[in-house]
Structure 1
Amino acid sequence: MNITRRSFGLGALAAASTLALPAWALAPLAGVQVPGVVRRKVGSFEITAINDGYTALTADLFSGVPATDIEAALASVRQGTTIPTAVNTFVVNSDAGTWLIDAGSGPSQAFGPNLGRTVANLEAAGITPDQIDGVILTHAHIDHVEGLVDGSGAAVFANAEVVIHEDEYGFWFDDGMMSQAPEAAQGLFESARRSLTPYADRTRQVQAGEVAPGLTLIHAPGHTPGHSVLHIASGDDEMLILGDTLHNAAIHTAYPDVGFGFDTDAALAAQSRRAQFDRVAADGILVAATHVAFPSFGYIVAEGDRFRYQQAEWQFPL
C-alpha cells in the first residue's frame, strides 16, 4: 500500500486549517494568576505557602557593595534594578493546631496595591480565618502585621493568639523609641500598634524557644530588634522559615553582608543572616522566606564565603 498525504486526507486538512476560527473559540485572557497556594510536607506537618501578592523593590535599597555588583547579581537571574518582589505567608498544620506565619499586608497600600491577598488565598486553600489557632510573627513590619486587621481595624483572626518576640513588641510600643524615630519611620510604629492592639489580650510575648510542639522561634535580630526565624521539626524532617533574613535571593546570597533600607541595624542583620545561612547550608535544611519568589521553598548552598539559593523541586505526593 502506498501511504501518502492524500491517503489520510491531510491535504484537505491542511487547507481547512487555514480557515479563521470564530472568536468565541478563544479563551479570554485572565490577567491574574490562579490563587497562590503551594503545599509541602515536613514530617507529619503540612506547610502551605500563601502568596499575599507582590511589591516592587529598587536596587538602591541595598547597600554595602558597589551598585555595579548589585546590578550584576540581579542580572545573573534576569532581574533589573526595579525588582518585582513576592510577599509570602505560611501555614503550618500539625496536631498542635493551625498556625499562620506572618499575616501579610491586609488593607494597607503602603507597599502598593498588589498586596493583601492572604485571606483570599487562605480560603482558596480551604482554610478560613477562624480556623487559625495562632499567628506567629517574624517581626512587625507593615507587610507582616497589617493582615491581622481589616479595613475597619477589627481583628481578622477571631480565635488566634499572636506570638511575637518580646524585643519586637517592646520596640514598637516604646513611646521613647517612637519619639526619636525619623518622620519617615513614624508610620511603621503606627502600623505595628494599629495591627497588634486588637490582639492585646491574646498576645504572647516570648524569648527564643519552642512556642508550640515542633515550632521553635529563633531570635535573628538586625532587620528589626526582635526579628526571628521559625524552626519547624517533625520526625526526622526540619525546615526554617527565614522571614526577612533575605530580601532578594540573588543579592543576599552572593553578598550576605549587604544592608537593606529597612534594617534597623544592618551590621547585626548581616551577622544573623550569615548565622542562619551557615546553619541551613551545613545541614541541608529546607527554607522558605517572605520575599523569595513564590512559593520560596528551597535551599541555601554554600559557595566559598558566599551562598546560592536553589529552588526546591515540586513535591508531588503529600
Structure 2
Amino acid sequence: MLTRRHFLTASAAAAMPLAPRRLWAASTLTLGETRIDTLSDGNLVLPADFILGGMPEAEAQAIIARYGLPADQLTPPCNVTLLRDGTNTILFDVGSGPDFQPSAGKLAEALATMDLTVEDVTHVLFTHGHPDHLWGLLDEFDEPLFPNARHMIGQAEYDYWTDPETPNTIGEARAAFAAGASRRLAVIADSVRLLADAEEPLPGIIARLTPGHTPGHLAYEIAGPAPVMILGDCIGNHHVAFERPDWASGSDQDPALAAATRAALLDRLAADGHTIIGFHLPEGGIGRVERGGAGYHFVPG
C-alpha cells in the first residue's frame, strides 16, 4: 500500500535571500516492507538563464511568473532519496558535499534527523556525475564518505566522466564539473559497479537510461504494484520542464536529446500513473505527473 506523510520540517535552507524552506526529511513512501524518504541536501542558487537560456524568452518568463518564481535567480531544492528495505540502506546520489555551493552539502545533517550515520549506508546508486549529485562522495580526507557502501553508476556515465578528453570537450563553463567528477570517481575506480540500461543493481530496482542531461544519466525504477521512478535530473524542474518538455534547456549537456527523453518519459509517467521522485522538484520531490494544457503538471503528494 502506498502512503505518504510529512514530518521533521526544519527552518530556512541557507542564510541568503530567496532560499526555499528546507525540509530535512520531507516525505515518506511505504511500499510493503520498503520505506522511501527524501532528504534535503539544501538548495542550489542559479542564474535563471542556466535553465531558461535558449528558450523563447517571453513564454518562459510567463511560465516562471505563474509559479511565483523570480525572473533572474532560481533556488531549486536538492532531494536525495533514501530507501530502506529492512536489509539495505540505499542512497540515490549523495549531494554536493562542501565544495560546490554553500547553500548545499547538508546531507549528513539530514541523515542525522533519521538517526542514521554515513556508516549505516550499504549502497549508493548515482544518477549522474554533476556536482550536486556526486561531489558528496568523499570526506575531508578524500576518502569515501560512506565507507561501508557499494557504489554504482551507469557504465556510459562513468566512461564519460573518466575520459581524459571530456575536460576538452565539455565546454569552459563545465570544465570544473569534469575535473571534480574525474577526481572523485578515481577514488572508487577499483570497487565501483558499472550498470547497463535495464540492469537490476539490487532486487526490485531497475536502472533506466535517460540520456541528454548527461550522456549516461540513469533514472531508477522501484518495481512493484505501485512503481516509483527516481528521476535524478532527467526531469529537472516543476515549471518549464513539465509545461514545455520539448524546449531545450541550458542545464542539459545535450539539450535536444534531453528534451526528447523528457517528453517521452513524461508521456509514459502520466499514462502509467507512477509516483515520481525528482531531485529538484518541490515539497520533497515526491508526486505524480498529470497532463495539463499542451504539457504536464507536477502534483506533489
Instruction: Output the TM-score relative to the length of structure 1.
Output: 0.83
State the match for 2:8 in structure 1.
none
Structure 1 letter corresponding to 2:81: F
**2:24 corresponding residue in structure 1:** 36
Per the TM alignment, residue 34 of structure 1 is displaced from its structure 2 partner at its CA by 7.0
2:105 is aligned with 1:105: no
Is 2:151 aligned against 1:162? yes
Decide whether the 8 Å contact of 1:35 with 1:124 is kept in 2. Answer: no
Structure 1: state its 5+ residue gaps: 1-29, 313-318
Give the Å deviation of 1:35: 5.9
1:27-67 deviations in whole A, cap 9, x for unaligned? xxx76667610322133310010000011233322245311
Separation in 2 of the partners of 1:276 and 1:127? Answer: 33
Please give the alpha-carbon distance, in whole angstroms, between the structure 2 residues aligned to 1:288 and 1:124: 20
Query: What is the SS of the residue equivalent to 2:29?
Result: strand
Q: 2:83 aligned with 1:92, yes or no?
A: yes
Q: Percent identity, aligned pairs only? A: 30
Deviates more, 1:220-229 or 1:260-269: 260-269
Aligned to 2:105: 116
Matched, 1:48 2:37: yes
What is residue 263 of structure 2 aligned with on the other side?
Answer: 274
| Pairing 1:137-176 to 2, within 5 Å after superposition | 137-176=126-165
CA RMSD of aligned residues (A): 1.7
SS, match of residue 192 in structure 1: helix
In the alignment, the residues of structure 1 paired with residue 167 and residue 180 of structure 2 have an alpha-carbon distance, to the nearest angstrom, of 12
Distance 2:78 2:28 in 1: 16
Deviation for aligned residue 1:77: 1.4
Post-superposition Cα deviations, 1:258-299, rounded to whole Å, max 9, x if no partner, equal 222232211110111112111110011110111111301111
- Whichever of the two has the greater Rg, that structure is 1
C-alpha displacement of 1:201: 2.3
1: distance between equivalents of 2:170 and 2:93?
24
Whole-Å Cα distance in 1 between the matches of residues 185 and 41 of structure 2? 19
C-alpha change, 1:83 and 1:262, in structure 2 (3 Å) is closer
* Structure 2: gaps spanning 5 or more residues: 1-10, 14-20
CA contact (8 A) 2:210 2:217 kept: yes
The TM-score, its normalising length taken from structure 2, stands at 0.88
| Residue matched to 2:66 | 76
Q: Work out whether residues 136 and 164 of structure 1, in 8 Å CA contact, stay in contact via their aligned partners in 2.
A: yes
Shift of 1:178: 2.4
Q: Secondary structure at the match of 1:116?
A: coil
Residues 305 and 96 of structure 1, relative CA distance in 2, 3 Å threshold: farther
Q: CA deviation at 1:71?
A: 1.1
The 1-side partners of 2:141 and 2:162 are apart by 21
Provide closer, same or farther for how the CA distance between residues 200 and 237 of structure 1 changes in structure 2, counting only shifts above 3 A.
Answer: same
2:5 aligned residue: none
Which residue of 1 is the match for residue 3 of structure 2? none
TM alignment of 1:231-310, pairs within 5 A:
231-234=221-224, 236-303=225-292, 305-310=294-299
